[in-house]
Amino acid sequence: MVQSQAFANSTYGSGNYGDCQYSSCSITISNNSSVALSLTPTSGGSCVIGSDSVIVTTHNTNGYFLTLSSTASQTSLNNGTSQIPTSSGTFASPSLLAVNKWGYRIDGQGGFGSGPTTLSTNPSLSTFAGVEVSPGDTVKSTTVATSNSGDTTPIWYGVCADSSNKNGSYSVGITYTATANP
């Protein structure tokens, strides 16, 4: 007896792999590059707030998750030997931003209120989380593919400082990581 089998005509790299098409299961991430906060400290402390926008694009039908972390093993804003530590608040339980502290917030995510946070919002009256070292905080998770223009997440940064800090530029590196949900 002779048996015949029919094979589907297919091209390598086409068809489905899990929930994605081979050619479309990608993820991209971009942001505004850097956030510059200009602050003139006073003896009682002054605060400033600024924002970044992270845009994630994926056709993964299970969506993605976004993490935020410090790029180094430290989380303080640094100016040589002078430092401004990160807030003691967490993503799940943010706290009011104290003098000589800095942090981030994402409206409507984690333990943050719905906002809206704006450039004119007083950071000392808003809740912020401290930045953690890698792997950091998962700050957003979705369960569907994004549109072709991507999914934008505004991330707000605030700092409060008094005149006990050394004048000059303070900086810290932040890493955003977008990962496709399995």
Contact 107, 113 (CB under 8 A): yes
pLDDT for 14: 40
Residue 12 has pLDDT above 90, yes or no: no
The tokens for 69 are 């972390």
Contact 100, 76 (CB under 8 A): no
**CA–CA separation, 46 vs 33, rounded Å?**
25
| 113 vs 67 pLDDT, higher one | 67
CATH topology of domain 41-180: Immunoglobulin-like (2.60.40)
**What type of residue is 134?**
S
Closest to 50 (Cα-Cα) out of 158, 162, 170: 158
Residue 6 has pLDDT above 90, yes or no: no
Residue range 161-169: mean pLDDT, rounded: 93
| 170 vs 4 pLDDT, higher one | 170
CB atoms within 10 A of CB 35: 15
| Confidence bin at 4 (pLDDT 50/70/90) | very low
Strand order in the sheet with 137-141: 137-141, 64-70, 174-180
| 6 vs 140 pLDDT, higher one | 140
**CA–CA separation, 61 vs 180, rounded Å?**
9
DSSP letter, residue 152: E
Quote the percentage of the chain above a pLDDT of 70: 86
Contact 123, 48 (CB under 8 A): yes
Residue 11 has pLDDT above 60, yes or no: no
Q: What is the mean pLDDT of the chain?
A: 86
Q: Which residue carries 């807030």 as its tokens? A: 87
**CA–CA separation, 95 vs 93, rounded Å?**
7
Q: What is the pLDDT of residues 71-130, one digit of tens each?
A: 888 899 999 889 999 999 999 999 999 999 999 999 999 999 888 898 888 888 889 999
